[in-house]
Amino acid sequence: MRRHFRNASIIDASGAAPFRGTVTVEGERIAAVTAAPVETAAAPGDEVIDCTGLTLLPGLTEAHCHISFNNLTSIYNAVEQQPEDHALAALANAQLLLKRGWTSLFSAASAKPRLDVAVRDAINKGLFEGPRIRAAGQEITPTGNLGDLDTNYMEIPRTLRFSVACDGADNFMKAARLAARDGVDTIKVNVSGDRDWGHMHADDTVTVITERELEAVMQVADARKLIVATHCSSSAGVKMCVRQGVQVIFHAPHADAEARDMLESVKDKVFVVPAAGFPIAMFRRHDEFRLGWSAEKLASLETEIGIFTDCMRDLHKRGVRVLPGGDYGAFITSPQGENARDLEIFVELFGFTPMEVIVAATRHGADLMQLGGQTGQIQAGFLADLVILDGDPLADIRIFQDPDKIVGVLKGGVFAKREASLSRASGPMRKTA
Ligand SMILES: [Zn+2]
């Protein structure tokens, strides 16, 4: 049985303007794409879905996703949650994101070693509905850096932490090999801390990992064809990442002119994901969540937002692939499911047109997932990962934030969400399920 999505406004993510036409889905793939007035003939038993007034585009990729972060108020929430409960909550988050149009999730770390892996595998085996997932393990971090929660008096068991603290190349190599043994797709390394974060502080120059430590992780990853993704705020850290061939750099706010030149020189290989939703939500929603933060802290956050806005605008102009995805779930101010706020941020602050951010979240997102040429565009032969919107995202990118406007989501040709309005098929070929 084929499904014909007729008379949709099609955004194919090639970057071309939308066109009216029909997308035909057969099995898990797009069988045909035709521009009106041409229509693929519907055979008996086919389903024809009238998409007049609707926009059809490829499914989105969340490029900095933590399905195991459950809208934390403290990072210790993630430690306290027991693994059985934690795995189920992570699965629920993955399913929520799928229904919001995120058909692919690129993980930026798992709160315990195998949460991402278990959810990915259960979905791939068909045990549960869910999005495509590139799984990560815990963050691998130098002692005392972002993610190291231990003190002299309290050591948290290794498997309950969202990070593994390491020192020296051998130690980093061991942690990377353990992650590989667990079945991850992506090895996450914390190359620097963050601005204004006490002993995990990072500015233009501070990088807390050594080049040999990062190189050791790269060796493990390269030998197994795994991706390395880094938490990296400092300029020196960005340069080290480019030198070492890191494929995905998260944050990168302080990249100076030389670091940006280096990123531009590898723009066909590297992805930058600012994870902007996280600090922006903290800044804009602190009152709503009664956080009681000091004026000094808020001023610092505002400064940080200005710094990464400048950097991302520049990287985008230089043609570096900057992708949306914003640490949703890592703090209560940016809960899971509100991920599409990032799309608005890219338009509002980073100089993207709505079409450019859609291409970033779809075609470039598929490249990030290592599924380029397989999904992320509306083309015959591609996987039918589709989103159907009741409205025009080019007129208002915020449409993705309204679940009621997301009337259909398909992953691999199977509906993950289907509003009643999508059943308004007409004509003699209508078939009800
Ligand atoms: Zn993150």
Please tell me the CATH code under which domain 60-368 is placed. Answer: 3.20.20.140
Residue 327, pLDDT score? 94
Distance CA 308, CA 302 (A): 10
Distance 428 CA to ligand 1 centre (A): 50
Distance from the CA of 34 to the center of ligand 1, in angstroms?
Answer: 40
Model confidence at 353, in pLDDT bands (50, 70, 90)? very high
Rounded distance from Cα 18 to ligand 1 centre (Å) = 33
Task: Give me ligand 1 centre to Cα 301, in Å.
Answer: 17
Give the model's confidence band at 421: pLDDT under 50 very low, under 70 low, under 90 confident, else very high. confident
CATH (residue range 2-59+376-423): 2.30.40.10
How does residue 404 score in pLDDT terms, banded at 50, 70 and 90? Answer: very high
Residue 200 in this model has a pLDDT that exceeds 80 = no
Using the mean position of ligand 1's atoms as its centre, give its distance from the Cα of residue 4 in Å.
39
For residue 14, pLDDT over 90 is answered with: yes
Average pLDDT of the residues in 280-292: 92
Q: What is residue 207's predicted lDDT score, i.e. its pLDDT?
A: 74
Write the pLDDT tens digit of every residue in 207-258.
789 999 999 999 999 999 999 999 999 999 999 999 999 999 999 999 999 9
Q: How far is the CA of 87 from the centre of ligand 1 (A)?
A: 18
Exposed, middle or buried, 421 (CB in 10 Å: 0-12/13-18/19+)?
Answer: middle
Measure 390 CA to ligand 1 centroid, in angstroms: 31
Tell me what pLDDT residue 429 has.
Answer: 43
Reply yes or no on whether the pLDDT at 196 is more than 90.
no
Q: How far is the CA of 16 from the centre of ligand 1 (A)?
A: 32
The CATH 2.30.40.10 portion of the chain extends over 2-59+376-423
- In this prediction, residue 204 carries a pLDDT of 62
Compute the distance from residue 6 Cα to the ligand 1 centre, in Å.
Answer: 39
pLDDT of residue 427: 44
Q: How far apart are CA 424 and CA 224, in angstroms?
A: 48
- pLDDT over 50 at 433, yes or no: no
Give the pLDDT mean for 408-431.
Answer: 78
Tell how far the Cα of 273 is from the centroid of ligand 1, in angstroms: 10
Classify residue 298 by burial, with Cβ atoms within 10 Å: 0-12, 13-18, 19+.
middle
**pLDDT score of 41 more than 50:** yes
pLDDT in tens, 132-189: 999 999 999 999 888 888 999 999 998 998 899 999 999 999 999 999 999 999 999 9
Query: Who's near 382: CB < 8 A, 6+ residues apart?
Result: 29, 30, 58, 373, 374, 375, 376
pLDDT at residue 85 tops 60: yes
What does the pLDDT average to over 277-305? 92
Instruction: Give residue 225's pLDDT.
Output: 97
Q: Examine the pLDDT at 426 and tell me if it is beyond 90.
A: no
**Residue 379 C-alpha to ligand 1 middle, in angstroms?**
32
pLDDT reported for residue 63: 98
pLDDT of residue 46: 95
Strand order in the sheet with 248-251: 163-166, 136-142, 186-190, 227-232, 248-251, 271-273, 321-322
pLDDT of residue 145: 86
360-383 confidence digits (pLDDT tens): 999 999 999 999 999 999 999 999
Residue 197 has pLDDT above 70, yes or no: no
Q: Identify the pLDDT of residue 149.
A: 87
Is the pLDDT score of 431 beyond 50? Answer: no
Q: How far apart are CA 77 and CA 22, in angstroms?
A: 47
What is the value of ipTM here, to two decimals?
0.95
Instruction: Name, in order, each residue with C-beta under 8 angstroms of 369's C-beta and a sequence gap of 6 or more.
Output: 61, 104, 106, 132, 134, 375, 376
What percent of the chain shows pLDDT beyond 90?
85
Return residue ranges of the chain for CATH 3.20.20.140: 60-368
Note the pLDDT of residue 70. Answer: 93
Tell me how far the alpha carbon of residue 84 lies from the centroid of ligand 1, in angstroms. 22
Mean pLDDT within 261-286? 96
CA 262 to chain centre: 23
Whether the per-residue pLDDT at 263 is higher than 70: the answer is yes
